[in-house]
Structure 1
């Protein structure tokens, strides 16, 4: 049963404390529904797409790269944003990121959902796509992705990577879980 609560936190002022090409960090002075004033840190980032590329045999194409914030190489689903074109069509973004990171092109690209990966501090929207009928090509990676690798895995292998800490990307796990529930493979 849904609970309706129309009480909102009201923004009183905003101060940008940091900004670069990829993000803007703001400190907002806010008024809580209780009447108490406080602050909220909010990170603005452009929308991104995460892609679940499924081969005909059911394996999922993933990428591995060094993730500086966690200090290790990690497997994850292909994903990304176009900082220079934040209002781009989500499907074009998904197709572009899939080809860029893996080299694969999808004959079928279906948007299956969307989410806010960290709604408590980040306003970035994630579009979830299922890519099927894949054809191989050469990746067109950016210079910052030159260490990226790609390989295909079964769902059991992906679960093992998650359990061993080789896959720590919460967005990838959420997208895979959502897809499995949507397909009826997991009970909600």
Structure 2
């Protein structure tokens, strides 16, 4: 049991996920899911000119491919720094180098169930850097630069549908 009253009731190490239980202030039993290694995840708002970079990935939880902003878990090699995690994730997924990165906020993907936050990191990619094949981690199927109009139409059509990308886009004023 942790000092805040949460007890792990189930867990696995790869990927690191645990389900915790606690008693709330009204006596109601509460549950939360802790994903990752207690370090914040990072989502990358990578821009060049008036475009933002999207990646396409198959998401088994919803059984379909989605266009999203690049993102991932921080790891201990990042030193707990979301800017470092964002740059690493962008490079792993696209082969591109993030420049001038800055934190512009954070988002909690599901405050009713998930305990962790995701840092929103914005930065630029050099104009002459074009993503070719997806990066080295094997998670990404395709990469694409889109302008604001195309981004909004992809949201409206459901091609971009995950809450992390939508939250980051809203903070970064892409929606």
Q: TM-score, normalised by structure 2?
A: 0.83
Contact 1:53 1:131 in 2 (8 A): yes
Q: Which residue of 2 aligns with 1:121?
A: 113
User: Deviations 1:55-102 (Å, cap 9, x if unpaired)?
Assistant: 12x111110011111111100000001456585321110110111112
Match of 1:39 among 29, 53, 74: 29
Match of 1:149 among 127, 142, 146: 142
User: Deviations 1:36-64 (Å, cap 9, x if unpaired)?
Assistant: 322211111232110011112x1111100
SS of structure 2 residue aligned to 1:88: coil
Q: Which residue of 1 aligns with 2:87?
A: 95
Query: Is 1:178 the counterpart of 2:168 in the alignment?
Result: no
Q: Which runs of 5+ in 1 are unaligned?
A: 1-9
Contact 1:11 1:31 in 2 (8 A): no
Q: Which runs of 5+ in 2 are unaligned?
A: none
Distance 2:6 2:18 in 1: 14
Q: 1:125 to 1:157 in 2, by over 3 A?
A: same
Distance 2:19 2:11 in 1: 7
Q: Which residue of 1 aligns with 2:14?
A: 21
Distance 2:85 2:116 in 1: 15
Calculate the aligned-residue CA RMSD, in Å: 2.4
Q: 1:100 to 1:154 in 2, by over 3 A?
A: same
Distance 1:111 1:105 in 2: 16
Query: Is 1:50 the counterpart of 2:43 in the alignment?
Result: yes
Larger radius of gyration: 1
